[in-house]
Each structure stands twice: as structure tokens, then as C-alpha cells.
Amino acid sequence: MVDMPPRVSRRSYLKRGTAGVVAVSGLSGCTLGGGGGSGTETLTIAAAIPETGSYSSLGGDLKRGYELGVERMREELDRDVEYILRDDESDAQTLREQLQSVVSNNDVNVVWGSFSSLLVTAGSAFSENEGLPFLGVTFAYEAPHRNDNYEWTFAPFPKSRDIVASTVGMLDLIPEAERPTDVGIWEPNSGWGEEMADYWEEYLTDEGYEVVLREIFEIGSTDFSTLISQSESADVEALLSCPTPPGGITAVNQIESSAWTPDVLKFVRAADPTQWWSALGETGAYAMMSPGPLPPGHGGQELRETYRNRYEIEGEFMPIVVGSAYNLAQVTTQAVSAAGSVTPADVRDSLRTATFDTVLGDFGFEENGIPKAGQITTTTGQWWDGNQMVVYPRGDSGRAMELKHPVDW
């Protein structure tokens, strides 16, 4: 079992929000342009992301978020910014080799992470060994922070506890007479899979839901028929899991072809990429993910407009991962600005002590590099008409809608 932190109740989670914090710097308009500055020290950032391989469907979104963030950094920091990007091919060993090559040939100050816990933890281990500040998003896994004595690793991203709190909030939106109470958890055979399953079981049980099924499956599985049959036999109403995108797409296709369908379907990680809709079409509707689109306020609308203008994209929403990646660049910018230095130890100390104002909200880090509990607003999104919409908390965003349920393909 994962060593659990004190549980944050759903009510506390909603009330704490972003109140009572002082940010390093506010957000202004996102006017894009070239860089450079009068600072005497160049900030050099190394990053490896999955431009090819099994996670490549998210690599492009991560790349665009980083690009937008670097462009903004070059405006705000009084120094040159060098950004060195490599393809990790969705492979942990390749990621380490690519980062080693960059660090060996450049005076690197900060390392940015890839996609998924597997690749992010590989980048973190490399950076810890090198004594370089490491920032990683798409990294909900908490156990490494609690058990690996991180000194240089920071994750400006909702963690497992935040995602599960958002799940409870989402379910509570459903009128009590219609609300599914019997929950099934498909648990990927991984450390993060177990952590998420543990949190879901604990939080949902405490809120009065019953976990009627919890079964493990191997990452990379292509046959979900046994899990589907077990879910049907257990009368699962709400199905929760965190499969890879290919695994989640395969699972939904097989569920749609079976005699059983859950009322609620939340596939964290799997439903993140735009590949979800292009592969599934209307069968991808109703599926939920967390974190979902950016919460209202905090400069999110400015970022969306900048994204559309920068990439000349009309008529579609900004992918979720773009906002998370941009938020990481904002944290780096504010940490360097507060430190007044690019020396790795100074940047790390700034990350430990400052409070950051980003498109995800205002937050600071615990000593282990996890965002302080309840400070990041963790939305739940849902696929509808080819777009990822916000269903919890809805706010007044033009991307918000009422939760669609039960699943009806």
C-alpha cells in the first residue's frame, strides 16, 4: 500500500482553492516574440519529450506548451534563454541518454520532464544524480516524492490525491437518485496504478460509495474481455482506471462491442490526447479525464488565444497538456526571477520557498516537491462533440458544460 498523506475532504478541497497565497509575479498579456536580455548568465533548459513512440500522441502537445512558455520566458527574464529539446522516443533509457548528451555538452541549469510517470521519474532520477532542478508535469504519481528523498524534483501538476478528490466532486454533481454508487476500478499493474486505486477506494468508500470490483491488468494488454465480464457480473456502475492512451482506446472499443456499459467512465491519462476522439469518434463521448481543461481565470483565456494565434488553429480547443506544460514554464520563470540567479542550487531553493501564479492557480510546494494539498484546482473534463469540456468544477468558462450521463453510445 502507498503511504497515504492526511486525507483532504472534498469540502476542504473546494474551500481552500487558491485563497491566502501571495504569488511571485502576476500574469499579463501573452504577446509572443524573440528573446534575449541584458542578464550576464544564460538560462539553459534541457528537455526530452516523446516525439515518437507509444506516447507520441501527447508529445506534440507537450512541445507546444513548452514552446509558448519559452517565448514568454524570453520576454520576462532579463537574460538569454537557451532551450534544448530532444526526442526520448517514449523510452526511459533513450531519455536518459538524450539528457546525458545535452548535459555533457552544455551548461544546463534546469531540466524539464516528459510524459507519463515512467518517463518523468527517469528524468527525475537523472536530474537528482546531476544536481539539477527538475520540473515535471503529467506526473500524478506521489510515492516517489514521499519515498525517494527528492532534493531537486518538483511537480507543478495535480497529484493522485487531487485527481481522486476531483472524481468525488464530479460524482456528487449527479442528483442523488441517479448517482451511481457501485464502483469498479481497473488497476494497471504499476506503482502509480496501485496508488490511484488505493486513493479511489479510500476516498470513495469514505463518501459512501461501494467499490464492488478492483482488478489488476497488465499495461500493454489488448484483451479486456475478462475485466468487462467481471464488471458486468459485479454490476459496476462507475468505471475508473488510468490506462495508457492505446490501452484505453482498445478497452472502450471492446466495451462498446460488449453487452455491458458503465453509467460513468473516467479514464485518467488515456483520454488526455486528441487521438482519443480521432480513434473512437462518437464512441469516445462521455469518457472523462483528470486533470481536464484549465480552470477559469488565472490567464487561461489569454493562453488559449495565444495558442490559436501562434499555431493558426481555428474552431478547436487547446489540448489539455499544452496548458500543463505552459504552467511548468511559468513556474521556472518565476523561480529564476525570484532567485535572481540561474545557479541550480539557487533555483532549487526558490522553488522550495516561493508561491507561483500560473494558469493552474496559485500554489507552492511541499518539501518533497508536491504542490501543497488543495492549492491546485483539479478539473474533470469530459469528451463531447469532439472536444474536451469542463464538467467539474464548471465555473463560467465557455468550455464548461453539464456532466453527460449515463453513457449512451
Three cell numbers written together for 338: 525570484
Q: Which of these ranges, 2-6, 244-248, 277-281, 334-338, has the smallest mean pLDDT? A: 2-6
Q: Which of these ranges, 25-34, 159-168, 215-224, has the smallest mean pLDDT? A: 25-34
3-state secondary structure of 183: strand
Where does the pLDDT of residue 39 fall: very low under 50, low under 70, confident under 90, or very high at 90 and above?
A: low
Calculate the alpha carbon distances from 168 to 10, 176, 380 in Å: 7, 13, 10
Three cell numbers written together for 14: 473546494
State the distance between the two ends of the chain, measured CA to CA, in whole angstroms: 36
Angle at 125 between CA 328 and CA 68, to 5 degrees: 20
Task: Specify the pLDDT at position 16.
Answer: 31
3-state secondary structure of 251: helix
Per DSSP, the residues of 262-296 read -SEEEETTTT-STHHHHHHGGGGTT-EESS-SPPS
User: Is the per-residue pLDDT at 26 higher than 80?
Assistant: no
Residue with cell 482488478: 215
Q: Does residue 260 contact residue 281 with C-beta atoms inside 8 Å?
A: no
Task: Specify the pLDDT at position 296.
Answer: 80
Pairing state between β 238-241 and 264-267:
parallel
Where does the pLDDT of residue 18 fall: very low under 50, low under 70, confident under 90, or very high at 90 and above?
A: very low
User: Is the per-residue pLDDT at 13 higher than 70?
Assistant: no
Query: In this structure, what DSSP letter does residue 218 have?
Result: -
Task: Specify the pLDDT at position 229.
Answer: 98
User: Is the per-residue pLDDT at 315 higher than 50?
Assistant: yes
User: Is the per-residue pLDDT at 285 higher than 60?
Assistant: yes
**Complete domains list, the chain, with CATH:** 19-158+296-364 (3.40.50.2300), 161-290+380-392 (3.40.50.2300)
**What's the whole-number mean pLDDT along residues 154-163?**
96
Calculate the alpha carbon distances from 20 to 7, 15, 76, 363, 375 in Å: 20, 11, 25, 10, 10
Task: Specify the pLDDT at position 78.
Answer: 87
> To the nearest whole number, what is the mean pLDDT of the chain?
89
**What's the whole-number mean pLDDT along residues 377-406?**
90
Q: Which is more confident, 206 or 5? A: 206
Q: Does residue 354 contact residue 335 with C-beta atoms inside 8 Å?
A: yes
